[in-house]
Structure 1
Amino acid sequence: MAEVHEGRDARLGRTVAVKLLRTDLARDATFQARFRREAQSAAALNHPSIVAVYDTGEESMVEATGGVVNLPYIVMEYVEGRTLREVLGEGHHLDVDAALEITTGVLAALEYSHRIGIVHRDIKPANVMLTPVGDVKVMDFGIARAMADSSSTMTQTQAVIGTAQYLSPEQARGEQVDTRSDLYSAGCLLYELLTGRPPFMGDSPVSVAYQHVREQPIPPSHVVGGIPEAVDRIVLHSLAKGRDERYQTAQDFRADVEAARGGRQIYAPMPAMTGSNATTQFMPAADGTQAMPPVPNAASAYGDQATTVGNQYDQYDQYGQQPDQYSRRSREPEPSNRKPLMIGAGILALIVVIAIILSQTGLFGGGDGSGDGGGGGDSAVQVEIPADLVGMNEKVARKALTDAGLPETQIEIKKKNTTEATEVGKVITVDPASGETVTTTDTVTLTIGKDANTSSVPELNGKTQEQAKTLLAEEDLVLGSVGEATRSSSTTAGIVVSSDPGSGTSLEPGTTVNITVTSAQVTVPSVEGMNYGAAKKALEAVGLKVSRTTVETNDVAVNTVIEAEVGADESVARGSTVGLRVAKAESVPTQEPTDEPSTPTEPTADPTDSVTPTDSATPTESAGDDEEEEEDGGGLFNP
């Protein structure tokens, strides 16, 4: 949709990126509106993990025919580095810690944008940059929307905006999106960082979107070995079909990711997998890397092969394909191939329609017919409580309930003292009782017997002080002294970091357990003169956030911290942001200053397909611009 050039801000003496709407799209009012919306959305955001917008305007150009066309432009922060699409395009997945660290940066950006009311709606690897020092930058708010205006899903007729591999179920169904839709896409991103491939792949955007609505993903650890169970839980919880069943805020999601990095307890429940549904529908990795030719005249069936179904301009962001490959790919197949492809498209569309009808009537997917067309959790489904739960241990009873269709989040555990040795660790009562029918929104309580003569210290790390007190009381233990830990990477005050005695210790009932929680105030360490990466880690280690601005100078080494906005040894609130001024090599001015700040600077490099300029001699299509919009329209899976 746009071309990006390297430019020079003559007034402030800094390198910038200038994003221009492509001339062939400049006469289209839809693209003009989207481009301006991107500028408005991004300009409202000021966060170190979001590419900053400095200026916007229009430049008049005279075409070869003599006509005049206005090209809107955006002047934005110049970011050195690569997109995650380029990183993953090398065919490698990231190690667990690196994947979690990058996801933390993305969630920090979403937490900020959501707080001020903006939903990104297209989180994907092509829209996330990684700088040489490891900073994360989220970009391309071209289809972002204010939450107050999120009822529009920015669709074309019979089409949905977004990138197929990262669409939330509600986006695929053409429903209203909200902040939790971004969190689903972030879960897809984390999945791909961990495994090297998206959670769902298929031969067309519709087949992928259908899987988002109906199928369960394979746990990442089943694709790549060595991924901890806690990370599996985080990913699968973020990919829950129903919005109410996944993370509710970016802050909650980020807290679990940070807890997993630190080896602490997470809040994500064990996923309720449903047998073969989680494994038999996943496409082999080899199939996902094959480039599918576009299908002409098939938009009425399921859109063209672009990631924006129904988009007439941009090519499908095929997983695993390099930007230069799909910028050179032919937009039309050979005429001899058209008829078979159109027939195949029609058959696929017919299968999708039949599947939707069956799901509505309760004949497909095990529902009761009261769903919303495969909403995957937006409507309550009836579940019969299994028999013989009494006498089972907690783990087996939980599995029996989740296998019956009850979400893990709807299972409540209570402890009750017992003098019967056979009841210790086993289910004593079930409420409602076995054989009764509940819905997936109801809570089922399992009462587990505990030895009245002994107590065990529960896992308290990651809990609040009040939660710790409640958990201890359930074990007939008493909360004792509460100490403060000033050195902790948690950005939230009052979170338990240790207990004395530790979890699992057997004690007599009534014994006191002391805890240590994160302090409300922390002392800022001295970071001036340090390398930025080391300074960032030092500040994060005590629970502080970091923002960075660069200063051109040759007096110190590049990436050296020149100054911190908060002095060393000062006391600040935990979770506060400390700004760092970091050295950057001085640039040689390329032109004289002007008095016209609204006039775009002359490009000094050829257009490229991302914010990072390259030496490409000709413009290429942007890998991150594969989605367009028309106000109103239906979803892929709204019958």
Structure 2
Amino acid sequence: MSEEKRMIADRYEVGALIGRGGMADVYEGIDTRLGRKIAIKILKADLVADPSFEAKFRQEAQNSARMTHPTIVRVYDSGEEQSVDSNGNTRRTPYIVMEFVSGTVLRDLMHARKLTSAESIGFAEGILTALEFSHRAGIIHRDIKSANIMITDGGVVKVMDFGIARAMSDSSATQSHTQGIVGTAQYFSPEQARGESVDARTDLYSTGVLLYEMLAGRPPFVGESAVSVAYQHVSESVTPPSAHNSEISAAIDEVVMHSLAKDRNDRYQSAEQFREHLLSAALAPAAGQPAAPVAFTEPLEGVETTKIDAFDELLGGLSAESAVTAEVEPVTTANTNPFETLGVEFEPEIVDTRVKVEQTEKSMKLAGLAWGVGSGLVVFVIGMVIFVLAFGTLNVNLPTNKNIEVVDVVGQTFEDGAAKLTELGLSVVEKGVPSDTVPADEIISTDPPAGASVPKETEITVTYSTGAAEVAVPSLLGKSEQEAKDALTSVGLILGTITQGTSPSAALGKVIQSSPETGTYTTSGSAVDLIISNGKVEVPNVTSMSVSDATNQLQGASVGLTVKLGTQEVGCANPVPQGQLVLGQSIAPGPANQHSTITLYVACNG
């Protein structure tokens, strides 16, 4: 069989080579059973020779297959193909069948052009979303780098190679310093460089390196060898990315530098925290905006100013130590109403100005202080009145001790409800929960509830629906219809349509396929369609094929028939040679009972 038509597991047709790395080659392929395009990763022979690597690779492939998320390249299947080479030796080929992604590797995209800050932040958000999902599943990527990130034609991030890096890490002692490892060292965390154990925060450091590279157009550390780069990750300080790209804000700088802390305890502690801080920084205003309030320090034109002495100087001018008796005589003054020219009239207050006051030194000092404060207040009030009359209405919000009543926002969208609460001066805390009854983004409750009286800036927890909960489709293969229905009901799913299909191995009435597939996350209450075995197989037309090719196809895993050879010529007693062509078959092409025996008719030899 030609290389282009190479088959794996009698199901996956291997096509053109589309990628090559230090560990594996990736081919375009076709799943002949489901008729969909796939990618097939086949490990190289030098890694297959390491039994521990092979075992760990197989385990990690299984872990990756459990993760179904839009930002992660899905793994459909894995296994080991066995074949015999030209020397008669058995050759084992571990493989992984993955989702085929049409797009560009992030590494190639960065080489092709400079990414915008918005693109860089968007791609990092997708990577962190994938890591949040994988970390919750207990899987650490260990090899986040630009070569392991795909950007689809629609701009969606797809993280690849979950788990393979772990197997490489465990077998690192058998590997040399190849260019692939040098490239990976560029994204090493300090703990990786020191050979220490790694955890989820290691992935976050590598993501920080990648974010730095996307924003700055270069990695934080460069060197001539892996050792040089790794040393810098451990010992050297990082230059902020804004030093290489002036468009980067101080807020983004701070997020990147936080993610690249040498001590993992000083970094972000989860992918979710990293992502939230990054998105918050992306929304922060650019440097210098908004402008801070301006205090006027220059005197206003036409307004006379008076220097006010310091407090000690004000009181120090009063030097009498004994009681002093002062008599204030009435003084007749001209009309000094400053508002008369503006049309503002005041009713004069008649006051008896003949007052005898006995003052001590203390009372005189207090009187002077009161006079100074009072004068200041009078000047302020007069100035405000002049401003109002000259420039229009003044809206003054005086502080009050009144509480705020929480308004009812239940049933509104989170955006609308949060805006109303914020306008009241309350601090909104967001809390999303799944709900099978409340539409997505609709507010379910508030805490404190509507009608409660609370002080200004009180935190109000707004609980809203994130939509129906998502559940994983359970394994249904090999179950009867009723067993499958019970399994679906137990996780909150319902049985959808049932279609009959052929299978060489599944007994009559047993499930051979589900849609969505096992392990896929879908909305609670969704229907799952099944294909159930009809107890038959699809017999191909092998007429005009060689006896050997026809036999291999009919006895293969996809058909599973027993093959006999015979002739339709009466009285033919000579043995049937294997090299002849098939002239006919006892079972016509189409459906046939499983495990049937089929006779291939050939010409009589003489």
TM-score, scaled to structure 2: 0.46
RCO comparison, higher one (Cα < 8 Å, 6+) = 1
TM-score, L = length of structure 1 = 0.44
